Structure 1
Amino acid sequence: MAPNTPTSFETDLELLRSSAVAAGIIASGYFRRSLKTWTKENASPVSEADIVVDKFLFASLLAARPDYGWLSEETADNAERLGKKRVFVVDPIDGTRGFIKGEDSWTVSLAVVEDGRPVAGVVYAPIRDEMYDACLGGGARLNGSPIKRSRRPGTSPLIPAPGAVHQEMQAAGLDYARGPAYPSLAYRLVQVATGKLDGAVARRGAQDWDIAAAALILTESGQDFADVCTGYPQFNKRDVRHGALAALADPSLKPVVHAALIKVYGCPAETAISNASQS
């Protein structure tokens, strides 16, 4: 390979998979044990396991790809990433709150983003022994086999949703059941691909590391995923926060679910205009 030839998406995916497994082993050593925890400025929890895993991934991934940028929930942001062709987008433990409580659906979520879109991604749930992965144009897999949705016919759609969104969807007459709200957003999203859920939503404020890997897995498995205000999310921008999000397996659900999310959370531009008018 010539020095300036970029690695293939498949090769980057192999790196993410092996790194996720190693990270999962490290994190599992802290799981359901006495754990140091604290609260960050945004009131979200963090544990010593998050920091240890983040440091491991930073060292191992950038040793393998020193020319890539870095964006992680547990690392201070560095604007140098904005000038990089490819960027690692990392959540060392997605679902920290559940991890601390001893719930087993937490994940290691890793992605490579190129020119604003994810091109390789892994969502790994070590305790459940579930490895979801995808690369751009290569399809999505669960434990090495292509992901195939499986749902019982005739059952109401399963969509976990916050209370206010739930009320709006009920008021619109949507016939559905509230599914399990897994603490890991990445894990919740990829269950739309497997068929365990028919939809998954997120309030405004999810960040690149929460969704980059899951976004690719969803699109490569043929599921609709969108920021309800702007469409398919763009990644590695200066502001890594997103509007309200929805992953949906059935296109007929989209108008009601998107409308409910916009009514509850609004869109960033609308909020800015509203705030300006009140000042």
Structure 2
Amino acid sequence: MPGADRHQPDTPTLRADMELLSEAARRAGEIALRFFGKHPRSWLKDGKSPVSEADLEVDAYLIDALRSARPDYGWLSEETADTEDRLTRATIFVVDPIDGTRAFLAGGEEWTVSLAVVTDGRPVAGVVYCPVRQEMFVSGAGQGTTLNGASVRVSAQAEMRGARVAAPPSLLSDPLLLEAGIEPSDRLRSLAYRLTMVAAGRVDVAAARAHANDWDLAAADLLVQEAGGRLIDLSGQPRTYNQVSTRHPALLAAPLQLAEAARHILSRAVV
């Protein structure tokens, strides 16, 4: 298992990884766009989660592009069979070839390619790319967060009343949130993109119900952190990745000044 003493990659390695992820995400987006709006073959995994031929083609490209460039890194992807090998690696790629496959298949714009490098349980480089909107969010540990090369920050919203909140529709209609005076955002079916909107300052708080996986979260986690916010569970703790189980409890992303108030409200509303 990765050790408890976490270390940061040196700056040249970190920047090289950020560039590698950015280029891979851009190319992956081009591949996905070839299928977008053209009714690709799709089916359900485990009887509930949609996957399409586009997801698999993007995944195959990413395996080749990323693992050939960093053969010593482990691998965790939504569309690749998981193995225990990753648990022996201090550094791994965490990949979601198409985050928001339901949006992708329905012709929505907000699906993304989500890529991260995780070292000793925490993301150190991350990219969330929205091909339809041509939005490339990039972050590295200690490097801040950028959108198409320009720095972005979380919002300065000071209280939950009037805060823009992105969450599943069933949560946004919860009486506790409505009583708190929040402003529901548009529906965002890519969880990575939903969380990234906090990093960009477009929404103030984003929430996720339990059972999201590493590949949904790792890249966006770093983007939020480097933009001045936090991604935490409802006990207030940050997340650790590349564990035996890839699943996570209910979570929220928020600027530092809103995190505790958001946690207090959401911990009573989220089941």
Common fold by TM > 0.5: yes
CA contact (8 A) 1:168 1:260 kept: no
Letter in 2 for 1:67: D
User: For the Cα contact (< 8 Å) 1:165–1:264, is it kept in 2?
Assistant: no
Q: 2:55 pairs with 37, 47, 50, which one?
A: 50
Query: Cα offset for 1:249?
Result: 2.5
Cα distance between partner residues in 1 of 2:47 and 2:119: 28
Once structures 1 and 2 are overlaid, which stretch shifts more, 143-152 or 45-54? 143-152
Preserved CA contact (<8 Å) 2:116 2:123: yes
Looking at structure 2, the residues matched to 95 and 19 of structure 1 have their Cα atoms a distance apart, in angstroms, of 18
1:273 aligned residue: none
Residue of structure 1 aligned with 2:241, choices 219, 228, 235 = 235
Aligned residue for 1:116? Answer: 121
In our comparison, the structure showing a higher alpha carbon Rg is: 1
1:156 shift after superposition: 2.0
Alignment correspondent of 1:140: 145
| Percentage of pairs with the same residue | 43
CA shift, 1:165, in A, is 5.8
- The one-letter code matched in structure 2 to 1:247 is A
Between the aligned partners of 1:13 and 1:62, the Cα distance in structure 2 is 15
Correspondence for 1:184 among 187, 190, 210: 190
Listed one character per residue, the Cα deviations across residues 2-43 of structure 1 (whole Å, up to 9, x for unaligned) are xxx976111111110110011000000000002101001051
What corresponds to 1:274 in structure 2?
A: none
The one-letter code matched in structure 1 to 2:177 is Q
Q: Name the CA shift for 1:42/1:84 in 2 (closer, same or farther; >3 Å).
A: farther
Cα distance in structure 1, aligned partners of 2:156 and 2:109: 23
Match runs of 1:64-213 below 5 Å: 64-149=69-154, 156-162=162-168, 163-164=170-171, 166-170=173-177, 173-213=179-219
Q: Indicate yes or no: 2:73 matched with 1:33.
A: no
Post-superposition offset of 1:93: 0.2
| Cα distance change of structure 1 residues 80 and 152 upon mapping to structure 2, 3 Å threshold | closer
Once the two structures are superposed, what CA deviation does each residue of 1:234-268 show, in whole Å capped at 9, x if it has no partner? 0000001001010112634633x3244434555xx
The reply to whether residue 218 of structure 1 matches residue 224 of structure 2 is yes
Partner SS, residue 23 of structure 2:
helix
Q: How many residues align?
A: 260
User: Which is richer in strand?
Assistant: 2
Moved more, 192-201 or 213-222: 192-201
How far apart in 2 are the matches of 1:152 and 1:265? Answer: 22
How far does residue 148 in structure 1 lie from its aligned partner after superposition? 3.6
Matched with 2:260 is 254
Equivalent-residue separation in structure 2 for 1:70 and 1:138 (angstroms): 24
1:264, 1:121 → 2: CA distance? 30
2-side partners of 1:20 and 1:226: how far apart? 26
1:42 to 1:110, Cα distance in 2 relative to 1, 3 A: farther
Taking the aligned partners of 1:92 and 1:197, their CA distance within structure 2 comes to: 24
Q: Report the TM-score when normalising by structure 2.
A: 0.89
Give the whole-Å Cα distance in 2 for the aligned partners of 1:229 and 1:193. 21
Tell me the distance in 2 between the aligned counterparts of 1:47 and 1:213.
22
Q: Which residue is 1:60 aligned to?
A: 65
Mark the CA change 1:151 to 1:254 in structure 2 (over 3 Å): closer, same or farther.
Answer: closer
Q: 1:115 to 1:21 in 2, by over 3 A?
A: same
Q: Whole-Å Cα distance in 2 between the matches of residues 176 and 36 of structure 1? A: 39
Deviation at 1:103, TM superposition (A): 0.5
**Take 1:164 and 1:109, find their aligned partners in 2: how far apart are those partners?**
24
Give the whole-Å Cα distance in 1 for the aligned partners of 2:79 and 2:151.
31
Cα pair distance change 1:165/1:181, threshold 3 Å: closer
**CA–CA distance in structure 2, aligned partners of residues 261 and 42 of structure 1:** 29
